């Protein structure tokens, strides 16, 4: 089968050898045709349009060339090389690793990212500590991926090593199968693992099979040298200008290891930063009917109580309001702390009002916070999924399990508002709950009250 594929691809290369330089074709036709993977780590369609790290970069490249970007998505890595060699795509921007087997047919450009390649197992199943430990375990990987090359190299030293290749799944699907106990092991690049571990906490790294695996755009050999050179110039400039870092932070910044409670820093900021804004939070709480400490917890999660905070995506101020949200609320200056806090309180209160009347506290609060973060329409989609699964859409426990599914193609293609980075609102709510409980404890200590921590909306012993 592998030999047949090589012969077929070699034939395709031969038929493309007489074509004019690819860059000239692109500039003449005014179109840059790019193949990519339909994946959150490459390209997806959201309610707001195309999104994804590869899309952001290649769109900027097309704009620099002054041509229209035409994206073609595939569901399998195995479809990428034939599309390039047939001439249907000028290049691939699909998170491809640079491998010797791919170099037979493709040229790779400037490595704009590096990833680690992990062997993944499920906590409690016994951690493999060497290749010898995995010889009798079930291993499944994505067909035609660089992970097959990794296993084939290992097989040279361990001939008894075996695995299954699946062309009908994405990397995230196999991580799910490990978490569900359907297979023992899979191989994942660090970005995919870092995303999936947030909603499958039992996933663990058994071994690092490769470190700093280079990721690059891919081009047909011979006829695309001028396009490759132009792309390299663009990516090197993007690296120097910080564009690469901004794109990476936008899509992967949330996956960095984070101390969710951060108690020591939080208490220090409670003493050093909050006093400047506490009266503003208290006033906004009184006007909106929201516990001011909950508003302060939102503010800390959003900006760590910094009035001049600006995110890579352009949200600003203590409550990190988007320009669209500020316009919706009629705010003139979202960087003014009093305006930002009042606007955040009003926006949160409106989300609370939109939550179904059947939802009680504290679930109502958690759902409103999730809507504040990800948008109310995605919360509605999560409720729909819970209903399909036979759960309770009025339960935050069930909603928090459904929200991450909005990042999986199996689910987000079935709901009205599509893809969302659904793990983010879950982490967001968990962080705010922790900050709120600390604030309750700290303010009670100020008043000399020895009480237990309360959830918003729950009866207070100090009332």
Nearest to 214 by CA among 121, 100, 105: 100
Distance CA 192, CA 423 (A): 13
How far apart (Å, rounded) are the C-alpha atoms in residues 313 and 357? Answer: 33
Strands 140-142 and 164-166: parallel
Catalytic one among 302, 335, 387, 455?
302
Rounded Cα distance, 37 and 72, in Å:
8
What torsion, rounded to 10 degrees, do the Cα atoms 220, 226, 232, 237 define? Answer: -150
Q: Can you read off the two tokens belonging to residue 112?
A: 């704009």
Distances, alpha carbon 360 to alpha carbons 281, 300, 399, 413, in Å: 24, 25, 14, 30
CA 233 to chain centre: 27
**Dist. CA 244–CA 236, nearest whole Å:** 9
Residue 302 among the catalytic residues: yes
Q: In 3D, which of 171, 432, 139, 158 has the Cα closest to residue 301?
A: 432
- Tell me the catalytic residues: 302
């Amino acid at each position: 089968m592998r030999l047949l594929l090589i012969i077929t691809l070699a034939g395709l290369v031969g038929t493309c050898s007489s074509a004019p330089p690819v860059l000239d074709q692109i500039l003449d036709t005014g179109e840059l045709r790019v193949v990519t993977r339909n994946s959150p780590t490459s390209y997806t369609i959201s309610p707001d349009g195309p999104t994804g790290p590869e899309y952001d970069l290649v769109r900027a490249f097309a704009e620099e060339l002054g041509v229209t970007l035409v994206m073609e998505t595939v569901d399998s890595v195995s479809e990428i090389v034939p599309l390039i060699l047939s001439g249907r795509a000028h290049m691939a921007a699909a998170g491809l690793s640079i491998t010797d087997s791919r170099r037979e047919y493709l040229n790779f450009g400037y490595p704009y990212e590096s990833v680690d390649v992990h062997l993944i197992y499920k906590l409690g199943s016994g951690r493999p500590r060497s290749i010898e430990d995995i010889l009798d375990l079930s291993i499944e990987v994505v067909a035609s991926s660089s992970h097959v090359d990794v296993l084939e190299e290992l097989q040279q030293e361990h001939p008894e090593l075996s695995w299954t290749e699946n062309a009908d799944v994405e990397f995230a699907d196999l991580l799910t199968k490990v978490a569900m106990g359907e297979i023992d092991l899979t191989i994942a690049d660090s970005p995919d693992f870092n995303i999936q571990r947030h909603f499958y906490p039992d996933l663990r790294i058994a071994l690092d099979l490769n470190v700093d695996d280079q990721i690059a755009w891919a081009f047909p050999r011979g006829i695309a040298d001028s396009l490759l050179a132009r792309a390299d110039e663009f990516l090197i400039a993007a690296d120097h200008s910080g564009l690469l870092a901004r794109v990476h932070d936008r899509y992967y910044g949330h996956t960095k290891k984070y101390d969710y409670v951060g108690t020591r820093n939080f208490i220090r900021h409670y003493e050093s930063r909050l006093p400047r804004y506490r009266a503003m939070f208290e006033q906004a709480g009184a006007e909106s009917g929201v516990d001011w400490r909950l508003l302060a917890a939102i503010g800390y999660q959003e900006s760590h109580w910094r009035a001049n905070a600006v995110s890579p995506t352009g949200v600003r101020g203590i409550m990190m309001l988007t320009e669209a949200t500020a316009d919706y609320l009629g705010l003139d200056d979202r960087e003014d702390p009093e305006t930002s806090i009042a606007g955040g309180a009003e926006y949160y209160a409106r989300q609370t009002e939109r939550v179904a009347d059947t939802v009680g506290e504290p679930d109502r609060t958690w759902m409103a916070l999730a809507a504040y973060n990800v948008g109310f329409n995605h919360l509605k989609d999560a409720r729909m999924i819970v209903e399909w699964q036979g759960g309770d859409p009025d339960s935050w426990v069930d909603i928090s399990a459904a929200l991450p599914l909005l990042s999986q193609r199996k689910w987000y293609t079935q709901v009205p508002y599509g893809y969302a980075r659904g793990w983010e609102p879950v982490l967001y709510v968990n962080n705010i709950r922790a900050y709120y409980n600390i604030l309750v404890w700290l303010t009670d200590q100020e008043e000399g009250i020895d009480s237990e921590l309360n959830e918003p909306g729950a009866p207070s012993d100090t009332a």
